[in-house]
């Protein structure tokens, strides 16, 4: 229960407070969102598998976001930012898809 509460409070706070994102951080926001979604889907699947662990979830979320942002930052510095962004999105996208498929199989038995 407390988990859902945290998610809802976070979303509401973000919508109402509208925190201003510094301009240098803005390019990494979409990548961070994809990374966060990957962590969330992974956590949900683990929950359904019965092996959910809050510490693993939080650490994987933070690490995912940071590593994804770091890769894109590195790419920007090297001049291959858009290609590396594509790479990150492809890898995380595949993971999100297969995790979502596993969740679907478990929930609907199909």
Partner 1 sequence: MSLLTNLMNNSLDEGYAEAAARRPTSAAPRDWRKHSWLLLAGLLAVGLLLSTAAAQAHDRASSTAEAGAALIQEIQARTTSNDTLENSLERERAEVTESRRNALRLTSEGTALAARLATLEVVTGASPVTGPALVVHLTDAPPSDDTGADVDPRTGDAADGRVTDRDLQTIVNEVWASGAEAVAVNGQRLTALSAIRSAGDAILVDFRPLSPPYDIVGVGDASAMRASFVEGFGGSYLQALRDYGIGYSLSTKRSARLAESSGVMLRYAGVPAGTETHR
- Are 37 and 95 in contact by the 8 Å Cβ rule? The answer is no
Q: Considering the complex, what minimum distance in angstroms separates the CB of residue 76 from partner 1?
A: 18
Footprint of partner 1 on residues 52-81 (CB under 8 A)?
A: 52-62, 65
Binders of partner 1: how many residues, by CB under 8 A? 50
- Are 49 and 66 in contact by the 8 Å Cβ rule? The answer is no
The SS3 of residue 110 is coil
**Cβ neighbour number for residue 30 with a 10 Å cutoff:** 13
Q: Considering the complex, what minimum distance in angstroms separates the CB of residue 46 from partner 1?
A: 4
Footprint of partner 1 on residues 28-57 (CB under 8 A)?
A: 29-30, 32-33, 36, 39-40, 42, 45-46, 49-57
């Amino acid at each position: 229960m407390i988990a859902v509460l945290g998610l809802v409070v976070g979303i509401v706070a973000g919508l109402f407070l509208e925190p201003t994102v510094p301009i240098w951080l803005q390019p990494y926001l979409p990548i961070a969102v994809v990374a966060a979604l990957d962590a969330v889907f992974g956590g949900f699947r683990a929950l359904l598998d019965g092996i959910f662990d809050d510490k693993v979830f939080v650490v994987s979320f933070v690490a995912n976001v940071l590593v994804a942002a770091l890769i894109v930052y590195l790419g920007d510095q090297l001049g291959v930012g858009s290609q590396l962004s594509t790479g990150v999105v492809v890898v995380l996208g595949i993971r999100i898809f297969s995790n979502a498929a596993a969740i679907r199989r478990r929930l609907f038995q199909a």
